[in-house]
């Protein structure tokens, strides 16, 4: 049995109750087979894959906080520091009731290769809590964030581990967490990214993931002889990534027909109106049911369903495994040309295969949504030199990084005889740098 298969078999037994983690690991290890085979005996002797798939450390802690009625509540906090071979741990904090160790480990594992692909010196980590921010007052959010940081501060620092936002964690939560860190440590340092502009944040970080997704999509389509202007797109989600993906897509001349949240979805034949979406989601923090009030020509539907609409491009921007095999069949039947993943692992493994087998270009999350963490790294640079760059400066660096990522994954896919398999290309290109750094640093 090959070293890759042996490792996968051991992990499947050891972590049988961590399906998302196993899904992420299986995809990466499957892709890097040709690289491992080049030096299999040595890598096996050095337990390379065991060291790659076992996090450096996993911190799990209690987070007590006080609700609006004065009652104490308790949630579970997580930080998985997966791999710091190429730089300090870096990755977001997810606040969602579905959070568990499997989800945080899958996200942390993906982050290693994503961060490597950015070309910037950042390692992989992820954290969060099963706390549900929905329906909470600002004071409840503050109480949770302060208590979360009261434990997390022990493990993070500007040169150690730099968390950021993810689902349920935006500028408000980062602000409360930063305030608490500063109070405990008396240290105003770049320990978190996604900070407000008045206290160390970077221009364009808010837009970065969505904008970056479109920069990469544009480059991928261009290199396949397809012009993006005039195309239609489907977006799922209506959070940070989705909003700025829709904004940049619209600027590029793409008409975005849909968006969604966890209760329903919107179809707007005139193109989703970003200003309306920002008002509902960023200002009022309300449900998508409100959208029709502003845009009477649109339709609102309960449940899920964006992938049944006919369009050229699909941009899943909500959460993991939100695009399944049935959705993939609908996309193919409707002539979809490309899927670019704004969310982390939004496409199930069988759907990825189906899309690729049917000639749909698929830009995987670790490449397509790397603009967020890349711009976080640019925020770290600005914090270190105590300067702020202009929006245009950050945005043009972001664009350069995304174009580079596309070519690196494209080249890696070609080098190993898998032309247009960007999933394999991204995994291989991301892995090669980590492999090099891990090898240079010895067995640790």
Q: Tokens 């992990």 sit at which residue?
A: 11
Instruction: Yes or no: say if 113 and 28 are a contact pair by the CB < 8 Å rule.
Output: yes
Q: Which range, of 179-187, 250-258, 259-267, 406-414, touches ligand NDP by CB under 6 A?
A: 259-267
Q: How far is the CB of 381 from ligand 2IT (least distance, A)?
A: 13
Name which of 160, 159, 158 is nearest 178 in CA terms. Answer: 158
Binding letters toward ligand NDP, positions 371-390, x by CB under 6 A: -x------------------
Residue 208 three-state SS? helix
Report the partner that residue 248 touches, choosing among ligand 2IT, ligand NDP, none (CB closer than 5 to 8 A by kind): none
Selecting among 126, 195, 366, 433, the annotated active-site residue is 126
Binding letters toward ligand NDP, positions 263-282, x by CB under 6 A: x-------------------
Residue 241, interface with ligand NDP (CB under 6 A)?
yes
Among 115, 118, 319, 408, which residue interacts with ligand NDP (rule: CB under 6 A)?
A: 319
Which value, to the nearest 10 degrees, does the dihedral of the CA atoms of residues 230, 232, 236, 242 take?
A: 10
Is 154 an active-site residue? Answer: no
Report the partner that residue 317 touches, choosing among ligand 2IT, ligand NDP, none (CB closer than 5 to 8 A by kind): ligand NDP
Residue 318, interface with ligand NDP (CB under 6 A)?
yes
How far, in Å, CA of 249 to CA of 241, rounded? 12
Size, binding site for ligand 2IT by CB under 6 A? 11
Backbone torsions φ then ψ of 287, nearest 5 degrees: -85, 165
DSSP state of 305: -
Residues in the chain: 444
Instruction: Yes or no: say if 355 and 325 are a contact pair by the CB < 8 Å rule.
Output: no
Residue 237, interface with ligand NDP (CB under 6 A)?
yes
Q: Which range, of 64-72, 250-258, 268-276, 337-345, touches ligand NDP by CB under 6 A?
A: 337-345
Instruction: Yes or no: say if 309 and 333 are a contact pair by the CB < 8 Å rule.
Output: no
Site for ligand NDP in 288-317 (CB under 6 A): 317
How far, in Å, CA of 96 to CA of 139, rounded? 18
> Based on CB atoms, which residue is closest to ligand 2IT, 49 or 373?
373
Exposure letters 360-386 (e unless 16+ CB within 10 A, then b): bbbbbbbbbbbbbbbbbbbbbebbeee
Instruction: Read off the tokens for 28.
Output: 């990466």
Report the partner that residue 342 touches, choosing among ligand 2IT, ligand NDP, none (CB closer than 5 to 8 A by kind): ligand NDP
Residues that bind ligand NDP (CB under 6 A): 96, 98, 165-168, 209, 237-242, 261-263, 317-319, 342-344, 369, 372
Active-site amino acid positions: 126
Residues that bind ligand 2IT (CB under 6 A): 90-92, 114, 164, 166, 193, 344, 372-373, 376
């Amino acid at each position: 049995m090959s070293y890759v298969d042996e490792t996968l078999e051991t992990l499947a037994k050891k972590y049988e109750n961590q399906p998302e983690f196993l899904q992420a690991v299986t995809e990466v290890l499957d892709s890097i087979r040709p690289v491992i085979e080049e030096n299999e005996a040595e890598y096996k002797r050095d337990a390379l894959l065991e060291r790659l798939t076992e996090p450096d450390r996993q911190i799990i802690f209690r987070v007590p906080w006080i609700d609006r009625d004065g009652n104490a509540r308790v949630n579970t906090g997580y930080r998985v520091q997966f791999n710091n071979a190429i730089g300090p741990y870096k990755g977001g904090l997810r606040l969602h009731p579905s959070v568990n160790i499997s989800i945080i480990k899958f996200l942390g594992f993906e982050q290693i290769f994503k961060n490597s692909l950015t070309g910037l010196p950042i390692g992989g980590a992820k954290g969060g809590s099963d706390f549900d921010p929905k329906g909470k007052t600002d004071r409840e959010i503050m109480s949770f964030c302060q208590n979360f940081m009261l434990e997390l501060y022990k493990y993070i620092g500007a040169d150690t581990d730099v968390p950021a936002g993810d689902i349920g964690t935006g500028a408000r939560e980062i602000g409360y967490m930063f305030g608490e860190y500063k109070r405990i440590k008396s240290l105003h340092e770049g320990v978190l990214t996604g900070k407000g502009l008045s206290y160390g944040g970077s221009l364009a970080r808010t837009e970065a993931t969505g904008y970056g997704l479109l920069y990469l999509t544009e480059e991928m389509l261009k290199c396949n002889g397809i012009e993006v202007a005039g195309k239609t797109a489907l977006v799922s989600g209506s959070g940070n990534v989705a909003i700025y993906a829709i904004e940049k897509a619209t600027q590029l001349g793409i008409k975005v027909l849909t968006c969604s949240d966890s209760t329903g979805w919107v179809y707007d034949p005139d193109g989703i109106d970003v200003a309306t979406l920002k008002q509902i989601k960023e200002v009022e923090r309300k449900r998508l049911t409100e959208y029709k009030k502003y845009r009477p020509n649109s339709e609102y539907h309960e449940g899920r369903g964006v992938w049944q609409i006919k369009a050229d491009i699909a941009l899943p921007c909500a959460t993991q495994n939100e695009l399944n095999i049935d959705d993939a069949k609908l996309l193919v039947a409707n002539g979809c040309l490309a899927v670019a993943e704004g969310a982390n692992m939004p496409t199930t493994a069988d759907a990825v295969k189906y899309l690729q087998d049917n000639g749909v270009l698929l830009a995987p999350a670790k490449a397509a949504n790397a603009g967020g963490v890349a711009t976080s790294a640019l925020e770290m640079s600005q914090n270190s030199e105590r300067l702020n760059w202009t929006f245009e400066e950050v945005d043009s660096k972001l664009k350069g990084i995304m174009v580079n990522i596309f070519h690196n994954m494209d080249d890696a896919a070609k080098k190993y005889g898998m032309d247009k398999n960007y999933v394999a290309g991204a995994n291989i290109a991301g892995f090669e740098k980590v492999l090099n750094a891990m090898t240079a640093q010895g067995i640790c």
